[in-house]
Each structure stands twice: as structure tokens, then as C-alpha cells.
Amino acid sequence: MYLSPKMKAEDSITLRVLVLALVIVGIVATDIAAGTKFSLWAAPMSVLGTVWSYSHRQEANISAKFCISIGMLAALGAFFGHLFGELNDTRLALAELLIQLQVLHSFDVPRRKDLGHSIVIGLILLGIAATLSQTLEFAPMLLVFLAIALPTLVLDYRSRLGLEELKIKNEKLKKRGDSILNFKFLIFNFFLIVGLGLAIFAVLPRVPGYQLRTFPVSSPIEVKGGFTGRSVLNPGYVHQGSSSKGDGSSKESTRTGKEGQPDNSFYYGFNNQINQNLRGEMKPKVVMRVRSQGLGFWRVLAFDRYTGQGWEISRSSQIQTIKREPWSYQIFLPQPAIATRTKEVVQTYTVVSELPNLIPTLAYPKEIYFPTPVVAVDTEGGLRSPVELSEGLTYTVISEVPTRDQTLLGQAETKYSQNIKNYYLQIKSEIAEKVRQRTEEILTNYNPDRVGKSNKTLDSPYEKALYLAQYLKQHYNVPDNSFSLPDLGEKEDLVEAFLFKNQGGYPDHFSTVLTVMLRSIGIPARLVAGFSPGEFNPFTGMYVVRNTDAYAMTEVYFPNYGWFTFDPIPNHPLIPPSIEDSQTFSVLHSFWNWIAGWLPSPVTGLLNHLFESVFSWIARVFSWFFSLFSQGISGILTGFLFLTALAFLSWLGWRQWREWRYHRVISKLPAMESLYQQMLRWSARKGLSKHPAQTPLDYARVSYQHHSTATAQIVNEISKAYVSWRYGGVAPNLHQLRQKWQELQNSNKYS
């Protein structure tokens, strides 16, 4: 039994090889992005299947089809088993199913249509790999896939047209200098598509919400024994040869074993108790990658009690544990009542290097999708895991982040609850009065002319916090290295030494000093530790966070509005990175910042000014346009009229551009070629287009059935002259042909 004429087999070996290459690239890309090893068995089996399928392409292969169907059903059953057995990210299960189906499918691809199915599977695998990828290792595979896809589509198109059946003679192809694949055309389109793709990626708007609520999460982690959340498991702290549990018993001893010096890989501030008298520098390394809808400070934990040379969490025993349901990874977290406007921000974290069991999030997390059956929440809003965050762990957080409305915060009341007073106004009695006097002195000497030429007075906690943070930045210094300042004595106070002795300190000391200064004048504050956003990678869309991005800031409490951070560290922004009212084009903004880092300062300044002007104008136009739809029927009609006019002008501009481009191309062609192409274009507008499979003489004969006899004769004469010139090397009588062509155009101008 053989294939019927309607099921004609595809004989092109080149097309089959390219399709196989596309599939293998998709499988390898999945392995690279997900760290799997599918290609070790899938790639050779796909090659074997392709060879077998080609050799049996003219046969019915009923037995093979039967076995393939059984295999596909088994693969589908295994997929549903994975789907219902694992609640975490199902993308890998889908990729495995597609790879299995493709391997089975490769043993039965006789027709071009079957090859098309393989192309689609390769494309889907590449898409899955793109969603899993977190590094630029995926980029080369994407470029390779595109480079293979272009000639594959060309050959597929030729197969659809049936050009192989025309049996064009090889000598004619040689005379024309053509080949089956025009490599100049392919290379040009390759770079054009890459350039357009990068441009579209840069300006693509980011919608303010995920369309799917199944977020990336690692495979489940079993937790043995009871989990209270009281201990911090930090690999950087050791006690008597074992990892410290962060219970405060190990104040200065770390994994390095050196007194007074922290581990050079882990931030010292991630513990229940920290000693800021430590000296040392961290060796930079990537610790996690974050995909987030909004920029922010990845908050880890906060401290409420100042000890004189550091901080501690005074209520470390008051930890709330929250369990999830067994059928879901979703854990709902307690939310404080906040009067200000908030914005939902989804973040996905992937741990690259081991971290403590403290879970970084944006402020005010309301849901977390985490692989353990339980998490803990401390009194300062920090999240804790039953296990250390190990390499490869992935989790997703949804935070309800309050917007920073400076007007509302400046008008916030100063009546604090007793609980806030008890824990966030604490200060050591030995320095309280001295620090208060120094703080009042700084605020009294406030000069409006030095702060934005403003006439405002410092009459609110928000304005005082801003000014004190700015004052510390401008009047105190960070030493050149981590061992410049002398160690504090046993009874010496860090804040006192900073303000009155050393005239500065290390970066985290600035935040401690600001926190204590605010407390001294009755403004509730605490120290918060976490990571800055990190370095944005515009190609992966992820923030790359290193251990050196960890630092501490000051959080200030405003009744009804919650906690807001202030950064007094020199060379840091005064108001830390946070969400904005609109994040739609944040990728474009981050992409420009990345490019600007490579340009000279004068060029960057000029381009910044230019882009700010352009984007400001665009923003005003968008604002005006959307405001029309809130002005009733007249505004809506005006908006639709504007859209119609814009669409018409765009269409008109597009037509003019195409016309200009056509004349530009025609002007570069040889005279006979130019005349022939103009004739084809004119005839196509009259309703007779030339089929790619038609020869010029075939087309001329058909023209007698469509045009008038006089018109068809001119078309025939131009076509014959073109064939003689193109293939016979006979010089045409261009003057006579142009004259007849002009007469033809004139005669049909008003017809």
C-alpha cells in the first residue's frame, strides 16, 4: 500500500535536515534553560526517526503508526500523572511531553504537512525554554534557531508552490546566478529580524498583571520535625564548629573563624542579632535572580532593638507559622490595614547561591508560592523558611506595595499607638539626650535655600526624616577601606562615635545613626536589611542580585500609611527604588540605562535631555488622549475621530513610503529589468498578476485572455525582449520599447 496522490511524500532531503535541526535546537535550548538532559536521548532518536521516515516515505507504515499511537497515549498518560502529582511549575512536564511526542512523530513524517508539525513543536520548545531561561546562555540558541528557521521557511514555501515539479533546468539557474537558497537575502533578513526583535522587546509595554495565576515554584521540600521559625539558619555564622541558628549566641564568631571579621561570602545583617563592630568586605557573587513587575528593595528582615553596637529582634520568640493547604503552594499572609493606595506586584525569585532561611520579598507580601508546607512571619514582617534557601530554589511572591504619596505622608498624624512607642522609640539612655540635642541642632539650622530652594519648614516627621537622611549623606564620610576606623571599645556606642568622634562610618552605620536620631526626637523608626534591586539584564528581563547588593536602611512609621524607607548612605538615592504609578515602559527605561552605562557622560547627558523631552511630549499626548474618554460623549467622539485621522495618515504615509521604496529599487535595476518590472506591476494593478511559477513568455500568452489585443501585444513584446536580454544576451531596443510603454500607459490612463 502506498501514499495516494493527495498524500504526496516530501522528497527534499535539505528541508528534512533543516526541520530536524530546528527540533534539536529546541530540545537543546530546553536543556540549557532548565538544566535537564532531554537531548542525550531525544536528539539521537530524532535523527534515527528522521532517517527511517525518509527511507519509508512512500509506504503506508500501518504497523509503525499503530506503535506510534500507543507510545503517544503512554506519553500523554505520563504527562497527566506529572500534572496531578506535582503542584509546582508544569512547564517542564509540558516540554517533556512535547519532546516525547516529537521523537515518536519523527518516525512518521512522509509529507510536508507532517514536517510543519515538527517545526511547530520546535518553536513551542524554544518558547518554553525562553520562559525558563534566566541567563544569556539561551541567546545563542535563539539566534541559531532563527538562522535555521529562515532557510527552512523558504524551502517550505517552495514546496508549497510545487517549484520542484517544474523541473527548472540547471543551466538556466546557473545563467541567472541564482540558487535554491539566496544566502544574501537570508543573511540580510537574519540581521533585520534580530534588530527589529530587540527594538520591539525594548519598547514592549509591560501589562500590570500576570494573566495566569500558576506561578513558578520549585518541587516540594519535605520538612521534618517541628518548625517554630525562631532560628535563623545563616551559613555565614558558626558556633562551635556548626552553622549558627541565629539565636544570638554567636555574636562575632563566623564561618571564617576570625574574631570580629564576618564571612566574606555572606552578609552579616541576616540574623536575629547583628554586631556592627565587625570589619571586612564581601567577595562579590550572584545570589539570586528576580523577575518582577516593579522595581524595589528586596526586603529580608528588620530590627527593632538597638544594642549600642548593633541591633536585635527583641521579639524573636513571637513568631507566627502559617501552613498551606496540601493541594496548593499558595500561602496567604497577614496584611496590615493601610489607608494609602497600593499596587499589586508579582515577583519570582530564583536562588543561585545558598542563602539563610530568610525569604526576600517586596514590602507587604500578601501571598507566597513556596515549596515548603509552612513558612513563618516574624513581628517585623520578615518571612522565614524551615530550610536554608539552596541553589536552584524558586518561589513567587505577590506583594501589595503602598505607593509613596509624599503629600499624604507629610500630613500624617503624629499620634502613635502604645505598641509602636514601646518598640520603635527605644534608645540607650546613656546617649539619648546627647543624640537628641545634636538632632535638634541640625533641624534648627535647616536652611531652606539649600534644599531645593524651598520655603517649607520642617514641621512633619516625613520632612524631618528626608532632611536628616540628606544631611548625613552630605556631612559625614565613608572611610576608604573596611579597616580604616578603629574598633569600638566594649562600652563605646556606635552612634556616639559616628556623630562626635569619627565623623562618619561604614555604609550600614549611616542607617543606624539615622534610625537612632529619629527615635531621639520621637519619630518611630527601625533598621531594615535586604538587597537593592541589582543589575537589570534587558535581554532576560531579570534583576541579577549579588551578595554585595545587601545593605541596611531606615524604615519610618507613619500612622495609617505604614512603614516607608529612607536611605542615608552616600551615593545611594535618598528615596530608595520603589514602584511607580506606571511601569508600562520600565523595560525600555532600564534598557536605556544599561546602554548609557557604556557611553561617555557628555553624550549620555545630551541623549537623556533629548529622550526626556521626547518622552515627556509622548506622555502628554497619551494623557490627553485617554482623558478624552472621561469627558462624556463629546470626548469619546473626539477620541474616535483622532484615532480615525491617525489611522488614515498612517496608511497614507505607509503608501508613500512603499512608493518611494519601489522607485528607489527600480532605479537601481538595469534598464530592461526596470521596464519589465514596471510592466508587471502595472498589469497586476489591472488584475493580472504573474504567478511565481510562470515564465515571462507564459505570462505574455495569458495576457491575451485578460487584456485587449493592443495591450497584450505590448506586454508580449516587452516580455520577449526581456527573455532575449536576460537569457540570450541580446541588447533590446529600449527607445522603441519605452515609447510603446508610454503609449500604453497614456491610452489606459482614463480608461
- Res 261: pLDDT: 58
User: Helices (H), strands (E): how many in the chain?
Assistant: 21, 20
Closest CA to 545 of 315, 729, 299: 299
Query: 0.95 exceeded by the pTM?
Result: no
- Which regions of the chain are under pLDDT 70? 1-7, 83-89, 161-181, 200-214, 236-263, 447-457, 482, 580-594, 596-599, 601, 603-604, 607-609, 611-616, 618-620, 622-623, 626-627, 629-632, 748-751
User: What is the Cα–Cα distance from 178 to 183, expressed in whole angstroms?
Assistant: 10
Cα–Cα distance, 237 to 245 (Å, whole number)? 8
Give the model's pLDDT for residue 58: 81
Q: Which of 214, 228, 222 is nearest to 328 (CA)?
A: 214
Angle between helices 13-34 and 138-161 (to 10 degrees): 160
Express each pLDDT in 12-50 by its tens digit.
Answer: 888 889 999 999 999 998 888 887 888 889 899 999 988
Burial class of residue 290 in the structure, from the number of CB atoms within 10 Å of its CB (0-12 exposed, 13-18 middle, 19+ buried): buried
The confidence score (pLDDT) of residue 687 equals 81
- φ/ψ (deg, to 5) at 589: -65, -45
Kindly state the helix (H) or strand (E) to which residue 113 belongs, with its residue range. helix 112-132
Query: What is the rounded CA–CA span in Å between residue 522 and residue 516?
Result: 10
**Predicted local distance difference test score (pLDDT) of residue 207:** 45
Instruction: Please report the pLDDT score of residue 359 as a whole number.
Output: 95
Q: pLDDT tens across 304-321, in order?
A: 999 998 999 999 888 999
pLDDT recorded at residue 3: 47
Per-residue HEC secondary structure of 325-353 comes to CCCCCEEECCCCCCCCCEEEEEEEEEECC
Q: Decide: 576 and 297 in contact? Cβ < 8 Å.
A: yes
Q: What would the DSSP string read from start to end of 353-413?
A: S-B-SEE-B-SSEEEEE-SSSEEEE-TTS-EE-SS-B-TT-EEEEEEEEEP--HHHHHT--
Give the three cell numbers for residue 376: 513563618
Instruction: Please write the tens of the pLDDT for every residue from 23-33.
Output: 999 999 888 88
Alpha helices (H) in 445-556, listed in sequence order = 461-475, 494-497, 507-520
For the chain, the straight-line distance linking the first and the last C-alpha, in angstroms and rounded, comes to 58
Of 543, 210, 225, residue with least CA distance to 369: 210
Q: Which residue has the cell 540570450?
A: 728
Rounded distance between C-alpha atoms, residue 747 and residue 738, angstroms: 14
Per-residue confidence (pLDDT) for residue 622, from 0 to 100: 66
Among residues 515, 502, 507, 500, the alpha carbon closest in space to that of 482 is found at: 507
